[in-house]
Each structure stands twice: as structure tokens, then as C-alpha cells.
Amino acid sequence: MSRIGKAFESGKAFIPFITCGDPDLGTTKKAVLEMVANGADMIELGIPFSDPTAEGPVIQSANVRALSGGVTTDDVFELVKELRREIDIPLVFMTYANVVFSYGIDEFLAKCNSYGIDGIILPDLPYEEKEEFAPTCRKYGVDLISLIAPTSANRIAMIAKEAEGFIYIVSSLGVTGTRSEINTDLASIVEVIRSSTDVPCAIGFGISTPEQAKRMADIADGAIVGSAIVKYLERYGREAAPYIGEYVKTMKDAIR
């Protein structure tokens, strides 16, 4: 079993997201360590990109702040190397196909393997084009995480059958960001996934409160939160880490 699979072994998984380098990499490291100390089961590390099409204004702004600070993909790899000296929970990259493509698919995934990245999420990679990346991911033992959205409809079973690591269920149409209500029939999506694969699934996009996290974790195997965490960085900057740690504890406690 991969390290990602183990994150779901002892109950519902809480998976926070953070944009690397917002406002600087030192703050990212402190925030990640706080999240792990407060119960995070896996961390999504966002590699800053100039055109993050899946993101709403909160995470878009985080990308701008990180890039304005001069953060590069190599800098993010060095951060991962530092983190791996202190933590062993799964780390997955959330980035865009062009970041990997321009770096060099083979070189990027070889580095993921040697630096301790367990999986990669490419929200702009259509299912039909995943074979451009999937063989190299397999070569280096990096799970290519599949996304399933409300619009996936009759493709849910097909995507699920080939999924690796975990399945990222997109809760709502549109971009990332906190939402007051999530009205998608997620239980039906999970039912199709469960009949097609044993790979665990977690729900993201729009989750910000402990109540929402619990509701999503009751349906699936875990909950993913991004924008609500990035808002702490927007508000507190270099002082954000303890606030993020407290927030992660309340979310993890809610889904236990």
C-alpha cells in the first residue's frame, strides 16, 4: 500500500492545502508543521503558477504573492526536502500540467520520487489526456490523483476504475473558494465510486467549517480544505502558522 493509502487507514482523513511561498517558504514550512502537529493526515502543496484556472480569488491571490516573492518550482522541491527531515505523512503536489510539462515530465517526477512526494494533482489535465503523464508517474511511483466532478456523470465509474492513491471529488461546479452551502448529490457520486474501486475518496472545493467537513467526511473517506486556510495567510502573513494549526485541529476533531 502506498503512503497515501495509509492516510485513510485509521479513520476519516483531513487534507489541508497550502500555496507554497505565500508569503514566503519559511512561513509555509511553519504552517505545514503546525498542520501535521494538529492532526492533518496528508498535505496538498500548491506549486505557484501564473494562471491557476481551477482556483478562486483567494488562492489566485496566494499564487500572485508567492510568485511576486520569486518562488520557483526548484525552491518548492527544496522545501519538500526540508519537510521530509521532520514529517512522514503523505505530501502531494497540486499544480498545473504546464508546470510539469515545462520542467520536463521525467525530471519533475524523478524529483518527486527522490524528494518524497507521494502524488500529484493536475486539475487542468483532462481524463482523456492523462496518458501523457500517467506512465512516467508509474515509473517513479508517484500517484496521479484523479478528479471527479459533478459534471463527470457517466464517466465516474471509468475514472474511478483507473484511479490511484485517492480520488479527489470536486463538491461543486466552478472554482475553489469557501461556500455557505454545498448542494451537490455527492452521496450518489461516492456510491458509484465505491462500486468501481477500493481507492479512497475525499471531497474538496468549498469546505470551510467543521460542520461542512463532518458532513463531507460522513459521505466520503475524507475532506480537503484550501481557501479557508489560505485566508489565514492573507490575514496574518508570517504570523499565520499558529492560527492555521488551531483551525486544522477544529476541523480534524469534527471528522474523527
* pLDDT tens digits along 66-120: 999 999 999 999 999 999 999 999 999 999 999 999 999 999 999 999 999 999 9
Cβ–Cβ under 8 Å, residues 10 and 42? no
Domain membership flag for residue 229: yes
Domain membership flag for residue 162: no
**Residue 30 cell numbers, joined:** 511553519
Domain count, the chain: 1
pLDDT over 90 percentage in the chain: 83
Which structural domain, as residue segments, surrounds residue 109?
Answer: 12-145+211-249
Domain membership flag for residue 56: yes
Domain membership flag for residue 24: yes
Instruction: Write down the pTM of the prediction.
Output: 0.93
**Residue 115 cell numbers, joined:** 524528494
Domain membership flag for residue 255: no
Cβ–Cβ under 8 Å, residues 191 and 220? no
In 3D space, the residue among 230, 224, 206 whose CA is nearest the CA of residue 22 turns out to be 230
From CA 148, how far away is CA 127, in angstroms rounded? 10
What residue ranges in 112-230 does DSSP mark as E strands?
A: 119-121, 143-148, 167-170, 201-204, 222-225
Domain membership flag for residue 3: no
Q: What is the pLDDT of residues 222-248, one digit of tens each?
A: 999 999 999 999 999 999 999 999 999
**What integer pLDDT is reported at residue 71 of this predicted model?**
97
CATH value at residue 61: 3.20.20.70
Q: Distances from the Cα of 180 to the Cαs of 87, 112, 206, in angstroms?
A: 33, 36, 8
Domain membership flag for residue 77: yes
**What integer pLDDT is reported at residue 1 of this predicted model?**
62
DSSP 8-state class, residue 221? S
**What integer pLDDT is reported at residue 173 of this predicted model?**
60
The residue type of 244 is I
